[in-house]
Amino acid sequence: MRTTFRIITLAGLASCLTGALSAGVVTFSSRSQFDAAAPGLPVEGFEAGNVADVDFASCPSPLNSTSNNSCFTPGQILAGLDLNNGGIDHSGAEFALIGAGMFANLSKMLLLNYGDEILNLDFGPAAKAVGFDLYSLLSTDPFQVEVFGASGSLGTFSADPAFTGGFFGVFSDGEAITRISVTPSAGDFAGVDDIAFGTPTPEPGTVPLCLFGSAILYAITRGKQRTAE
């Protein structure tokens, strides 16, 4: 029993310093749960993009913070995020920037202009957590989402898109995320919005709280040890 308490105490202490207890990749289908696990991340919502409500505009691939085209000027997309279709050439019309209300979307969002193509989200620097609204155009059949780190694939997951935006989130407790590839269901179009990405930092009170909790746990252990003696 005493050994068990000591292990728990040490594990709790370790978790205070490193984050979640379990290592690996955890996925989320709810933004609120994702935000709770990875709070405070910057979010790219494409709201600076040049498109009117209930309209759309064609944009080239890739799109990133240096883009300077009819959709975005430099700095209008957050640094550290690059969106592309893997290099398939459609003469500068690889993406469709969708204005609010054009479809069932309430705010601007980004959709691949052609169906059956893979949408890549690249992160540099690599991110520990990524979450985004996932849109489809033709059906709500599941999409395939593959998460990559520097060493290769960290896992492939099924995600439910929606015409009004489903959600996919991933948190890697180990290797950081360098790319997420979204493969739509047959014939469909992949779209994203409100991409939260980065490495969450513990809130200011988290570490002292963890240390305080671990100290109490240690004290209980010591107390039980003395009682036993």
- Kind and range of the H or E run holding 216: helix 206-228
CB 47 → other proteins: shortest distance, Å?
Answer: 17
CB 62 → other proteins: shortest distance, Å?
Answer: 18
- Kindly tell me which of 163 and 218 has the beta carbon lying closer to other proteins: 163
Contact 198, 127 (CB under 8 A): yes
- φ and ψ at 224, to 5 degrees? -65, -35
CA angle 142/143/144 to nearest 5° reads: 125
Question: Could you count the other beta carbons within 10 Å of the beta carbon of residue 23?
Answer: 12
CA distance 59 to 95: 5
CB 96 → other proteins: shortest distance, Å?
Answer: 4
- Kindly tell me which of 115 and 213 has the beta carbon lying closer to other proteins: 115
Residue with tokens 């849109």: 135
Question: Could you count the other beta carbons within 10 Å of the beta carbon of residue 147?
Answer: 22
Interface with other proteins (CB under 8 A): 54, 56-58, 90, 93, 96, 101-105, 111, 113-115, 137-138, 140, 163, 187, 189
- Kindly tell me which of 157 and 163 has the beta carbon lying closer to other proteins: 163
CA distance 57 to 99: 8
- Kindly tell me which of 133 and 175 has the beta carbon lying closer to other proteins: 133
CB 138 → other proteins: shortest distance, Å?
Answer: 5
- Kindly tell me which of 115 and 149 has the beta carbon lying closer to other proteins: 115
Helix, coil or strand: residue 201: coil
CB 193 → other proteins: shortest distance, Å?
Answer: 14
Read off the amino acid at residue 37. A
